[in-house]
Amino acid sequence: MITRHAIEHTLDFRYSAPVHSSVMTLYVQPLQDRRQVLLDFAIETDPDGPVFTFDGPFNNKGHFLDRPSPHERLVVRTRSTVETGPRRNLPDSLGSDGWERVKTGVCDPELGLMLQPSPFVRPSPALDQFIHTHDLQAGDDPLASARELSATLHRLFEYTPGSTAADSPIESILESGCGVCQDYAHVMAAIMRTWGIPCRYVSGYLGPDAAGAAPAASHAWVECWFPDLGWTGLDPTNDSGDDERHIRVAVGRDYGDVPPTRGVFKGSARSVLTPEVTVTRQET
């Protein structure tokens, strides 16, 4: 069954004193591909002004804005309508030659990039100790091992909003056991890459289980590449695959490639960001 989602995402920046020359890039436009259909997308800002679209890395769509006049508040609001399909029916395993076929497939340079360390997904002594303590070794089958790892991270970590920041390294959740979705995704990607399975970070939204509107937030999970299956979503925060609730916005090596916002301004002021997301599910 096809599920339609209407998403409204507001980013409200408030400054303690007037600032000017706010320059910002955004990754907030949902992806358009064979797995989901972007029916419409609109972006508006206050103060008003032009917003430019650009093609970002990994086929993501980005936006750029510049607000030169003085302001004490900058509001960015996006509205999207997206259709997603049901969860794919995946096999229990890849078969007896699964690891050999993964090894052969990763000769593709694009896949090889998702095996390399990145700023937030990298080897570290803390990761090595975590893997050793919990015996997180790959099993006989790549797909079954990935599913088991997702379930294990869901069990080991405690979802704790505010326990980490957007730029927190994986050591924060590995040492405290507490984090949010992007931390779960970074740890899973780091372990999958040590196993030789290409793994990328996905930013997006998680829609409600039933029809109607619900408050939401930006969400993150991973996609692992498997032969014959391609990129396959796993959500360790919720111990699930990517189903019709998962609305994909951008993909990258880690959070640093696809932050919803990144920018600077001129002025001596403190800034506070208040995000607000509402997702309305409409069965079609």
CB 4 within 8 A of CB 89: no
Residue 34 pLDDT grade (very low, low, confident, very high; cuts 50, 70, 90): confident
pTM reported for the whole predicted model: 0.96
* Residues 155 and 41 grouped into a single domain: no
Percent of the chain topping pLDDT 70: 100
pLDDT digits (tens, 9 = 90+) for 66-107: 999 999 999 999 999 999 988 888 999 999 999 999 999 888
253 inside domain? yes
* Residues 66 and 147 grouped into a single domain: no
Q: What is the mean pLDDT of the chain?
A: 95
Domain that residue 125 falls in: 98-257
* Residues 245 and 270 grouped into a single domain: no
* Residues 174 and 250 grouped into a single domain: yes
Q: Is pLDDT above 80 for 214?
A: yes
β-strand partners of 8? 79, 278
Cα distances (angstroms) measured from residue 36 to each of 33, 86, 244: 6, 10, 9
What pLDDT is stored for residue 88 in this prediction?
84
Residue 234 maps to which CATH number? 3.10.620.30
CB 15 within 8 A of CB 276: no
Q: Is pLDDT above 80 for 284?
A: no
* Residues 118 and 64 grouped into a single domain: no
